[in-house]
Structure 1
Amino acid sequence: MAQQQPLTDAPARERFATVALRIALIYIAARVLTTIFLVVAAELSGVDSRFGPDASLADLVLGWDSRWYWIVAETGYPSELPRTESGAVGENQWAFMPIYAYLAKLVAIPFGQWVVGAFIVSIVAGYGASVALYYLLRERIDAVAAMWAVAFFAAGPLAALFQVGYAESLFLLWLFLALWCVVRRRYPWLYLLIPLMGFTRPGILAFALFLALFGVRRFFTRAREPLHVREVVHIVALGVLAVVVGFSWQLLAGWVTGDSGAYLATELAWRRNWIPGDAVFLPFDGFLSASAFWFGSVWGLGAELGYVVLAASVFAVAAILLFVPQVKRLSVEVRLWSASYLVYLLLVFFPQSSIFRLLVPLSPLWGAVAAPRSAVWRVSVLALCLAGQWWWIYNMYALGNAIWQIP
């Protein structure tokens, strides 16, 4: 396939200010609705909730992993790993990358409270990600569909992440800009964006895989789109940079703590919340163990069924990325990223309720959902997004104290 050119009436003919204003109106409306949901969730929070019966909006913004980022900003990273009674490595700050935590601390200086800085960084980065997503999708779909995709993104089931102290919105901003740079072949910007992604939240190794697949594709399509030496050098160098950044945090954690396995042991500390005992990281083991755990131990349906569902899900997702017309209409870069990120999750993640949050980097696929031109379809999807958002906020913040109520 030759390089996919933008539509003839696409971004070059659109005024950025007009697009930015339209997205701002959508984004502000979505944030108002999310705020209402969060306020109601705080009111519904009871004695069994993590936040207690007197929860405030600020408590929710600083809840769950947000508190870990706050600890990073205030105390940094431990040189000695905490240990549980059994001697295993306990939960600690090394699981959380530094950029979001310290940027929020910088922004918070005029306000005196980290939580205010975190809220500002999240909500501003979420708007920036919305604009970047629009331009990424406009490379292949029309303006109306791209704007609807932004609406689904801004009001989606996980849209509360734009208003709490999580690093997702900042990571999505870097990610969408990076994907747009690849689509446009503006590689030099990636030398900045890759470290920003890598030290905002885990996932940069998925981008390394994406660059590898993208490079292979460029090689096999070089007859239709010339592949110059300079582009080859950029793709290889950027792939190496992504790998180096991806493993550098593990090396840094090992150097500071004196334990070469500090980072992996820290990540596995959370897995013991579901599967007690000494956990060892093996590729794909998280999904295999989870399949047996959820279908066998928790739901009583049998581990074998879990393995069948896992395999069927992998084939179904592959078929969607390869054959669904609305998905194929998106840029090949979006499809390659989606495949790379899903492979990355299969390699490293133990699926539990956080799986919904971990799927947010697949947000460019909203472009496929927005592709049908039916107004009834688009309004219905938007309504489902809002319903899903309330369901997620209610479970994770109003209830928020069970194995399926952890964001």
Structure 2
Amino acid sequence: MAERSLTGSAPARAGLGAIALRIALIYISARVVTTVFLIVAAELSGPSSRFGADAGLVDLVLGWDARWYWIVAETGYPSELPRTESGAVAENQWAFMPVFAYLAKLISLPFGNWAVGAFVVSIVAGYAASLVLFSLLRDKIDDTAATWAVVFFAAGPLAALFQVGYAEALFLVWLLLALRCVLRRRYAWLYLLVPLMGFTRPGVLAFALFLALFGCWRFLTRAREPLPGREIVHIVLLGILAVVVGFSWQLLAGWVTGESGAYLATELAWRRNWIPGEASFFPLEGFVSAAAFWFGTVWRLGAVTGYVVLVTLVIAIAAVLLFVPQVKRLGVELRLWSVSYLIYLLLVFFPQSSIFRLLVPLSPLWGAFAVPRSPVWRGGVLVACLVGQWWWIYNMYALGNAIWQIP
């Protein structure tokens, strides 16, 4: 009720305008820094880099996976899967969802250049995500801490994603809006947001798990917060919708190509960049194989060491989400989302250099870094964010010539 009365009054509208301006100033400042980093990275790009010695900002915007989204926008999806010389399924467009690619194409029509559309979608989506993140966290922590969380988010190690042709920024808008709807028990919008998430980039199955865990938590705490029947219906139906959307792309790829495993085979084609030969998939296999690969084959520390590190890491992350006070301040819902997404990655992902980008949907956790009030702490986190951002841009864009330099 308080929110309804506030949003309907002139002073509140002025307050919302002030917040939007504050977030805009933070976001624009962060984008200036990122632009400088990208310009320097383009200048440092040499003959051995993926982008060559004459790289420019447009080349970086269209780099790596952005080129696949561009291909989707221009040519669509293949009805016949491409093959390597050995007969295995080659990398192709089915690994990339359509919403970002086609939205960027629509925005690019007045400019005649898909890269411009991709840049506009990403940078606007990044600002929208910053606004929603502030609103999401202000419900849990104070205004100042929520503002600092946006500072860390906008200037974070992966902030270049707000300026290149990747779908992450757009996905974050849908995700953060969806989490906000759950926090405020406004489920109707989720019937739109869940399909938007599912057809922007992979990850909606993690949201299905989140809804399942959230529903269990709501049932167990119904004495503290009443659980009306309509809310149960919404949670169940939305969970089913998220599962259906999550598997629908696989079914569509199979129907169009005539190969039931088209999508999975396409995703596994990328894994052969690290582990040559025929790749396979079953839950947890990616992380288990990667532990043996990185610690046993690459770093020569032994596969057993990799398994021990993996188990230790899982236990440590669980302890952080369960017991660290700053994380607990964010509330059960955001912690359940973090758990759900990490379980999803553990089940389906093969960890390599892209793991940093894959962790971006955990952005609500920036709130935990912003809770401590010490100026030294907050300044230190910001410096670490900027250093991490330059490290990521330098390695992925200025160099981009080693197995661990793929965003």
2:229 matched to which residue of 1? 229
User: For the residues of structure 2 that align with 1:121 and 1:329, how far apart are their CA atoms?
Assistant: 32
User: For the residues of structure 2 that align with 1:152 and 1:176, how far apart are their CA atoms?
Assistant: 16
Q: Unpaired segments of 5 or more residues in structure 2?
A: none
Q: Where does 1:232-381 land on structure 2 (aligned, <5 Å)?
A: 232-381=232-381
User: For the residues of structure 2 that align with 1:202 and 1:323, how far apart are their CA atoms?
Assistant: 29
**Paired letter, 1:239:** G
Could you report, residue by residue, the CA deviation over 1:11-67 in whole angstroms, capped at 9, with x for unpaired residues? Answer: x96821111100000000000000000000000000110000000010000000000
Q: What secondary structure does 2:189 align onto? A: helix
Q: Where does 1:128-143 land on structure 2 (aligned, <5 Å)?
A: 128-143=128-143
What is the root-mean-square deviation of aligned Cα atoms in Å? 1.5
2:61 matched to which residue of 1? 61
User: For the residues of structure 1 that align with 2:20 and 2:380, how far apart are their CA atoms?
Assistant: 25
TM score, norm. by length of structure 2? 0.97
User: For the residues of structure 2 that align with 1:50 and 1:331, how far apart are their CA atoms?
Assistant: 43
Could you report, residue by residue, the CA deviation over 1:55-101 in whole angstroms, capped at 9, with x for unpaired residues? Answer: 00100000000000000000000000000111000000000000000
**Paired letter, 1:69:** Y
User: For the residues of structure 2 that align with 1:64 and 1:382, how far apart are their CA atoms?
Assistant: 27
User: For the residues of structure 1 that align with 2:335 and 2:91, how far apart are their CA atoms?
Assistant: 34
The reply to whether residue 386 of structure 1 matches residue 386 of structure 2 is: yes
Q: Is the 8 A contact 1:156 1:385 kept in 2?
A: yes
User: For the residues of structure 2 that align with 1:330 and 1:41, how far apart are their CA atoms?
Assistant: 36
Q: What secondary structure does 2:402 align onto? A: coil
User: For the residues of structure 2 that align with 1:134 and 1:312, how far apart are their CA atoms?
Assistant: 32
Q: Is the 8 A contact 1:88 1:278 kept in 2?
A: yes
Q: Is the 8 A contact 1:81 1:262 kept in 2?
A: yes
The reply to whether residue 109 of structure 1 matches residue 109 of structure 2 is: yes
Following superposition, the deviation at residue 280 of structure 1 comes to: 1.3
Runs of 4+ deviating beyond 4 Å: none
Q: Unpaired segments of 5 or more residues in structure 1?
A: none
**Paired letter, 1:17:** G
Following superposition, the deviation at residue 191 of structure 1 comes to: 0.2
Could you report, residue by residue, the CA deviation over 1:279-304 in whole angstroms, capped at 9, with x for unpaired residues? Answer: 11110000000000000000000000
User: For the residues of structure 2 that align with 1:191 and 1:18, how far apart are their CA atoms?
Assistant: 31
Q: Is the 8 A contact 1:139 1:331 kept in 2?
A: no
The reply to whether residue 164 of structure 1 matches residue 164 of structure 2 is: yes
Following superposition, the deviation at residue 231 of structure 1 comes to: 0.2
Q: What secondary structure does 1:276 align onto? A: coil
User: For the residues of structure 2 that align with 1:18 and 1:141, how far apart are their CA atoms?
Assistant: 19
User: For the residues of structure 2 that align with 1:173 and 1:226, how far apart are their CA atoms?
Assistant: 29
User: For the residues of structure 1 that align with 2:398 and 2:279, how far apart are their CA atoms?
Assistant: 31
User: For the residues of structure 2 that align with 1:283 and 1:215, how far apart are their CA atoms?
Assistant: 24
Following superposition, the deviation at residue 130 of structure 1 comes to: 0.3
Following superposition, the deviation at residue 331 of structure 1 comes to: 1.9
TM score, norm. by length of structure 1? 0.97
**Paired letter, 1:78:** P
1:153 matched to which residue of 2? 153
User: For the residues of structure 2 that align with 1:316 and 1:100, how far apart are their CA atoms?
Assistant: 35
**Paired letter, 2:372:** P
2:220 matched to which residue of 1? 220
Could you report, residue by residue, the CA deviation over 1:116-155 in whole angstroms, capped at 9, with x for unpaired residues? Answer: 0000000000000000000010111000000000000000
Q: Where does 1:202-221 land on structure 2 (aligned, <5 Å)?
A: 202-221=202-221
2:186 matched to which residue of 1? 186
Q: % of aligned pairs identical?
A: 78
1:34 matched to which residue of 2? 34
1:201 matched to which residue of 2? 201
Q: What secondary structure does 2:223 align onto? A: coil
Q: Where does 1:387-406 land on structure 2 (aligned, <5 Å)?
A: 387-406=387-406
Q: Is the 8 A contact 1:211 1:235 kept in 2?
A: yes
**Paired letter, 2:281:** F
Following superposition, the deviation at residue 401 of structure 1 comes to: 1.4
User: For the residues of structure 1 that align with 2:280 and 2:16, how far apart are their CA atoms?
Assistant: 49
User: For the residues of structure 2 that align with 1:321 and 1:275, how far apart are their CA atoms?
Assistant: 32
**Paired letter, 1:379:** G
User: For the residues of structure 2 that align with 1:376 and 1:314, how far apart are their CA atoms?
Assistant: 30
Q: What secondary structure does 1:169 align onto? A: helix
Q: Is the 8 A contact 1:204 1:242 kept in 2?
A: yes
Could you report, residue by residue, the CA deviation over 1:266-285 in whole angstroms, capped at 9, with x for unpaired residues? Answer: 00000000001111111000
User: For the residues of structure 2 that align with 1:211 and 1:335, how far apart are their CA atoms?
Assistant: 12
User: For the residues of structure 2 that align with 1:311 and 1:21, how far apart are their CA atoms?
Assistant: 44
User: For the residues of structure 2 that align with 1:20 and 1:403, how far apart are their CA atoms?
Assistant: 40
Q: What secondary structure does 1:104 align onto? A: helix
